[in-house]
Amino acid sequence: MNYTIYPVPDSRFPIPDSRFPIPNYRFPIPDSLLKPILANLLLRILTYQRPDSDW
């Protein structure tokens, strides 16, 4: 059996929206804008180095 997963909310499998409020976009952001922001944020977290404290 070959199952195809569609990104459509199904009433048979309710997703708890209270724990994951992120998919409910009040202001939809295009992927071309969202992906660079997420990539930049992830890159900053991964390459973050603590500033050398002089004191």
- Report which secondary-structure segment, H or E, holds 30: none
Predicted confidence (pLDDT) per residue in 3-45, tens digit:
665 565 555 655 555 555 555 555 666 777 878 888 888 888 8
Distance CA 15, CA 55 (A): 50
Distance CA 9, CA 15 (A): 8
pLDDT at 28: 64
pLDDT of amino acid 33: 81
Residue 47 pLDDT: 85
What predicted TM-score, i.e. pTM, was given to this entire model?
0.35
